[in-house]
Amino acid sequence: MEVELAKNKFKETLFSFKQILPILFGVVMLVSFAVILIPKSFYKFVFIGNNFFDPLFGALFGSVLTGNPITSYIIANELLLSGVSLIAVIAFILAWVTVGVIQFPAESLMLGKRFVLVRNIVSFVSAIIIACLTVLTLSLI
């Protein structure tokens, strides 16, 4: 009886998974596309040295871009070395890992468009807030 149940559950899971594979395949292709076609040097030109706009731009570009988080650390380090503010850099890293514009089609197909839209907007705003709070806390310690 239990073996039969396990068999059925396995078949159900396999079926669900097969349905999702084209979306996953597509998103991996899209991520690869974005990672290679957006040159790393591009990021430095995004920031203008303004304390208000830089965190916003940081979060904005972190949201649009994608890839391994290690890449975001390397870019963030380069940005810091080239004089970009810490708030902007933290907002950039946070948005990179929490907001997913590239993954949006896949995520909305599986979790619902409205949920994904709201989740991404909230994550975007919180990336800027957390960046400000982190730098403020660091300055107080």
Instruction: Please select the residue that binds another protein; options are 10, 42, 48, 50, rule is CB under 8 A.
Output: 10
Instruction: Please select the residue that binds another protein; options are 1, 45, 52, 141, rule is CB under 8 A.
Output: 141
Regarding 49 and contact with another protein (CB under 8 A), the answer is no
**Of the candidates 42, 65, 63, 61, which has an alpha carbon nearest to the alpha carbon of residue 53?**
61
Regarding 48 and contact with another protein (CB under 8 A), the answer is no
Please report, as residue ranges, which positions from 91 to 120 form the binding site for another protein (by CB under 8 A): 94, 97-98, 100, 103, 105-107, 109-112, 114-115, 118-119
Q: Which of residues 42 and 73 has its CB atom nearest to another protein in the complex?
A: 73
Q: Under a CB-based contact definition with an 8 Å cutoff, are residues 68 and 97 in contact?
A: no
Q: Under a CB-based contact definition with an 8 Å cutoff, are residues 91 and 128 in contact?
A: yes
Q: Which two tokens stand for residue 105?
A: 């089609």
CA 104 – CA 110 distance, rounded (Å): 10
**Of the candidates 85, 101, 100, 94, which has an alpha carbon nearest to the alpha carbon of residue 129?**
94
CA 30 – CA 42 distance, rounded (Å): 19
Q: Which residues bind another protein (CB under 8 A)?
A: 5-6, 9-10, 12-14, 16-17, 19-20, 22-33, 35-37, 69-70, 73-74, 76-77, 86, 90, 94, 97-98, 100, 103, 105-107, 109-112, 114-115, 118-119, 122-123, 126, 129-130, 133-134, 137-138, 141
